[in-house]
Amino acid sequence: MFAVVKTGGKQYRVVAEDTLKIEKIAGEVGDFIELPEVLMVGEGADATIGAPLVEGAMVSAEIMGQVRARKVIAFKKRRRQNSRRTIGHRQHHTLLRIAEILTDGKKASKKAAAPKPAAPAKEKAAPEAKAAPKKEAAKKEAPKKEAKADAPASGEPLFKAPTGDPDKLTDIKGIGPVAEKQLNEQGIMTFAQIAGLSAADIAKVDEYMPFSAAQIEDWQAQAKEKTS
Protein backbone atom coordinates (compact mmCIF):
# COMPACT_ATOMS: atom_id res chain seq x y z
CA MET A 1 0.00 0.00 0.00
CA PHE A 2 1.28 3.44 -0.89
CA ALA A 3 0.36 6.96 0.14
CA VAL A 4 0.93 10.44 -1.24
CA VAL A 5 1.70 12.91 1.55
CA LYS A 6 2.19 16.65 1.55
CA THR A 7 4.83 18.31 3.74
CA GLY A 8 6.95 21.41 3.35
CA GLY A 9 4.87 22.49 0.34
CA LYS A 10 5.83 19.33 -1.63
CA GLN A 11 4.19 15.98 -2.34
CA TYR A 12 5.86 12.59 -1.89
CA ARG A 13 4.79 9.05 -2.82
CA VAL A 14 5.79 6.72 0.02
CA VAL A 15 5.48 3.09 1.10
CA ALA A 16 6.40 1.43 4.40
CA GLU A 17 10.17 1.32 5.14
CA ASP A 18 10.90 4.00 2.53
CA THR A 19 13.57 6.57 3.42
CA LEU A 20 12.74 10.14 2.52
CA LYS A 21 14.47 13.52 2.64
CA ILE A 22 12.06 16.39 3.22
CA GLU A 23 12.13 20.03 4.29
CA LYS A 24 13.23 20.33 7.92
CA ILE A 25 10.81 19.21 10.65
CA ALA A 26 11.60 19.88 14.31
CA GLY A 27 12.57 16.79 16.25
CA GLU A 28 15.45 14.62 17.41
CA VAL A 29 16.86 11.43 15.93
CA GLY A 30 14.66 8.48 16.94
CA ASP A 31 11.49 10.54 17.41
CA PHE A 32 8.32 9.39 15.65
CA ILE A 33 6.27 12.05 13.88
CA GLU A 34 2.90 12.03 12.13
CA LEU A 35 2.24 13.31 8.61
CA PRO A 36 -1.52 13.97 8.58
CA GLU A 37 -1.82 15.56 5.11
CA VAL A 38 -2.47 12.42 3.03
CA LEU A 39 -3.70 13.18 -0.50
CA MET A 40 -3.98 9.60 -1.76
CA VAL A 41 -3.76 6.14 -0.19
CA GLY A 42 -4.32 2.56 -1.30
CA GLU A 43 -3.13 0.05 -3.88
CA GLY A 44 -3.38 0.32 -7.67
CA ALA A 45 -6.88 0.93 -9.00
CA ASP A 46 -8.34 0.74 -5.49
CA ALA A 47 -6.46 3.84 -4.30
CA THR A 48 -8.53 6.49 -2.54
CA ILE A 49 -8.09 10.08 -3.64
CA GLY A 50 -8.72 12.80 -1.10
CA ALA A 51 -10.71 15.98 -1.59
CA PRO A 52 -8.20 17.36 -0.88
CA LEU A 53 -7.20 15.04 2.03
CA VAL A 54 -8.14 11.42 2.69
CA GLU A 55 -10.23 11.39 5.86
CA GLY A 56 -8.84 9.23 8.66
CA ALA A 57 -5.53 8.57 6.87
CA MET A 58 -2.12 9.31 8.35
CA VAL A 59 1.53 8.36 7.82
CA SER A 60 3.83 7.66 10.77
CA ALA A 61 7.57 8.17 10.29
CA GLU A 62 10.77 7.99 12.32
CA ILE A 63 13.38 10.78 12.20
CA MET A 64 16.68 9.28 11.05
CA GLY A 65 18.71 12.48 11.01
CA GLN A 66 18.84 16.25 10.57
CA VAL A 67 21.11 17.10 7.62
CA ARG A 68 22.01 19.97 5.30
CA ALA A 69 22.19 19.98 1.52
CA ARG A 70 25.27 20.86 -0.50
CA LYS A 71 26.20 24.54 -0.50
CA VAL A 72 24.76 26.58 -3.34
CA ILE A 73 26.86 29.60 -4.36
CA ALA A 74 25.19 32.72 -5.76
CA PHE A 75 27.70 35.11 -7.36
CA LYS A 76 26.45 38.52 -8.48
CA LYS A 77 28.53 41.03 -10.42
CA ARG A 78 27.56 44.48 -11.67
CA ARG A 79 29.54 45.60 -14.67
CA ARG A 80 31.58 48.76 -14.26
CA GLN A 81 30.16 49.27 -10.76
CA ASN A 82 33.01 47.72 -8.73
CA SER A 83 30.42 45.45 -7.17
CA ARG A 84 30.79 41.71 -6.62
CA ARG A 85 28.92 39.62 -4.09
CA THR A 86 29.18 35.93 -3.22
CA ILE A 87 26.53 34.32 -1.03
CA GLY A 88 26.40 30.66 0.05
CA HIS A 89 23.34 28.76 1.25
CA ARG A 90 22.85 25.24 2.64
CA GLN A 91 19.24 24.08 2.96
CA HIS A 92 18.21 22.14 6.09
CA HIS A 93 16.55 18.74 5.54
CA THR A 94 15.15 15.93 7.67
CA LEU A 95 15.71 12.26 6.86
CA LEU A 96 12.67 10.07 7.58
CA ARG A 97 11.92 6.35 7.58
CA ILE A 98 8.28 5.63 6.83
CA ALA A 99 7.03 3.37 9.64
CA GLU A 100 3.30 2.92 8.93
CA ILE A 101 0.55 4.01 6.56
CA LEU A 102 -2.70 4.17 8.52
CA THR A 103 -6.31 4.49 7.35
CA ASP A 104 -9.81 4.61 8.86
CA GLY A 105 -8.64 6.68 11.82
CA LYS A 106 -6.23 4.06 13.17
CA LYS A 107 -3.56 5.19 15.60
CA ALA A 108 0.17 4.69 15.12
CA SER A 109 1.70 1.83 17.11
CA LYS A 110 4.54 4.18 18.07
CA LYS A 111 3.37 7.59 19.17
CA ALA A 112 4.89 10.86 18.07
CA ALA A 113 7.42 12.30 20.46
CA ALA A 114 5.79 14.50 23.10
CA PRO A 115 7.43 17.83 24.01
CA LYS A 116 9.73 17.46 27.01
CA PRO A 117 8.40 19.20 30.15
CA ALA A 118 10.44 22.06 31.52
CA ALA A 119 12.47 21.12 34.60
CA PRO A 120 11.64 22.95 37.85
CA ALA A 121 13.89 25.85 38.82
CA LYS A 122 15.33 23.96 41.84
CA GLU A 123 16.35 20.99 39.68
CA LYS A 124 18.10 23.30 37.21
CA ALA A 125 20.21 24.98 39.89
CA ALA A 126 21.95 21.76 41.02
CA PRO A 127 23.22 20.63 37.58
CA GLU A 128 24.52 24.12 36.85
CA ALA A 129 26.51 24.10 40.09
CA LYS A 130 27.99 20.71 39.23
CA ALA A 131 28.77 21.80 35.68
CA ALA A 132 30.72 24.87 36.80
CA PRO A 133 34.10 23.06 37.08
CA LYS A 134 33.62 21.66 33.56
CA LYS A 135 32.99 25.17 32.21
CA GLU A 136 36.16 26.45 33.88
CA ALA A 137 38.12 23.53 32.46
CA ALA A 138 36.66 24.22 29.02
CA LYS A 139 37.81 27.85 29.26
CA LYS A 140 41.36 26.71 30.02
CA GLU A 141 41.31 24.31 27.08
CA ALA A 142 39.70 26.82 24.71
CA PRO A 143 42.93 28.43 23.46
CA LYS A 144 44.28 25.01 22.46
CA LYS A 145 41.13 24.12 20.53
CA GLU A 146 40.54 27.48 18.89
CA ALA A 147 44.14 28.39 18.08
CA LYS A 148 45.11 27.97 14.43
CA ALA A 149 48.61 27.64 13.07
CA ASP A 150 48.08 30.48 10.63
CA ALA A 151 45.77 32.62 12.78
CA PRO A 152 47.14 36.14 13.27
CA ALA A 153 47.67 37.47 16.77
CA SER A 154 45.38 40.27 17.83
CA GLY A 155 46.41 43.54 16.16
CA GLU A 156 49.04 41.95 13.90
CA PRO A 157 48.72 42.05 10.08
CA LEU A 158 48.16 38.84 8.11
CA PHE A 159 51.26 39.36 5.98
CA LYS A 160 54.65 41.03 6.37
CA ALA A 161 54.79 44.24 4.36
CA PRO A 162 57.73 44.42 1.93
CA THR A 163 60.26 47.23 1.99
CA GLY A 164 60.11 49.94 -0.66
CA ASP A 165 57.36 52.06 -2.12
CA PRO A 166 53.87 50.53 -2.26
CA ASP A 167 52.02 50.09 -5.53
CA LYS A 168 48.75 51.83 -6.31
CA LEU A 169 46.47 48.83 -5.81
CA THR A 170 43.45 50.76 -7.06
CA ASP A 171 44.87 50.25 -10.57
CA ILE A 172 43.48 46.71 -10.28
CA LYS A 173 39.86 46.62 -11.38
CA GLY A 174 37.71 45.76 -8.38
CA ILE A 175 39.97 47.33 -5.72
CA GLY A 176 38.72 50.69 -4.53
CA PRO A 177 40.22 53.11 -1.99
CA VAL A 178 38.57 51.32 0.95
CA ALA A 179 39.71 47.87 -0.19
CA GLU A 180 43.23 49.20 -0.83
CA LYS A 181 43.39 50.57 2.72
CA GLN A 182 42.22 47.25 4.16
CA LEU A 183 44.83 45.33 2.14
CA ASN A 184 47.60 47.74 3.18
CA GLU A 185 46.63 47.35 6.84
CA GLN A 186 47.13 43.60 6.47
CA GLY A 187 50.59 44.00 4.88
CA ILE A 188 49.60 43.65 1.20
CA MET A 189 51.26 46.61 -0.50
CA THR A 190 52.36 45.56 -4.01
CA PHE A 191 51.14 43.87 -7.18
CA ALA A 192 53.85 41.23 -6.75
CA GLN A 193 52.42 40.23 -3.37
CA ILE A 194 48.95 39.74 -4.81
CA ALA A 195 50.33 37.84 -7.80
CA GLY A 196 52.33 35.54 -5.52
CA LEU A 197 49.52 34.61 -3.10
CA SER A 198 49.34 30.86 -2.59
CA ALA A 199 46.13 28.86 -2.16
CA ALA A 200 46.70 28.93 1.63
CA ASP A 201 47.17 32.72 1.53
CA ILE A 202 43.95 33.16 -0.47
CA ALA A 203 42.08 31.00 2.06
CA LYS A 204 43.51 33.14 4.88
CA VAL A 205 42.38 36.38 3.23
CA ASP A 206 38.97 34.85 2.51
CA GLU A 207 38.60 33.90 6.19
CA TYR A 208 39.91 36.99 7.94
CA MET A 209 39.05 39.79 5.47
CA PRO A 210 35.81 40.89 3.76
CA PHE A 211 36.90 39.53 0.36
CA SER A 212 35.89 36.25 -1.28
CA ALA A 213 38.30 33.78 -2.83
CA ALA A 214 36.79 34.52 -6.27
CA GLN A 215 37.59 38.24 -5.87
CA ILE A 216 41.18 37.54 -4.82
CA GLU A 217 41.78 35.16 -7.73
CA ASP A 218 40.49 37.84 -10.15
CA TRP A 219 42.80 40.44 -8.60
CA GLN A 220 45.67 37.98 -8.74
CA ALA A 221 45.23 37.47 -12.51
CA GLN A 222 45.31 41.24 -13.07
CA ALA A 223 48.34 41.64 -10.78
CA LYS A 224 50.27 39.01 -12.75
CA GLU A 225 49.66 40.99 -15.95
CA LYS A 226 51.01 44.15 -14.29
CA THR A 227 54.13 42.41 -12.97
CA SER A 228 54.92 40.51 -16.18
pLDDT digits (tens, 9 = 90+) for 86-108: 999 999 999 999 998 998 888 88
Is-contact 167 156, C-beta < 8 A? no
CB atoms within 10 A of CB 218: 17
The SS3 call for residue 129 is helix
| Rounded alpha-carbon distances, angstroms, from residue 173 to 72, 84, 108, 185 | 26, 11, 64, 19
For residue 202, what pLDDT is reported?
85
> CATH 1.10.150 in the chain, residues?
169-227
CA distance 59 to 100: 6
CA distance 73 to 85: 10
Q: What end-to-end distance do the CA atoms of the chain give, in Å?
A: 70
CATH code: domain 169-227 is 1.10.150
CA distance 106 to 34: 12
The SS3 call for residue 178 is helix
For residue 147, what pLDDT is reported?
42
With bands split at pLDDT 50, 70 and 90, how would you rate the model's confidence at 149?
very low
Cis peptide before 52 (omega within 30 of 0): yes
Averaged pLDDT of the chain: 81
pLDDT tens-place string over residues 186-211: 889 899 888 888 888 888 888 888 88
Is-contact 54 48, C-beta < 8 A? yes
CA distance 103 to 100: 10
Beta-sheet strands, E only, within the chain: 2-7, 10-15, 19-23, 32-35, 38-42, 48-49, 58-68, 72-78, 83-89, 92-102
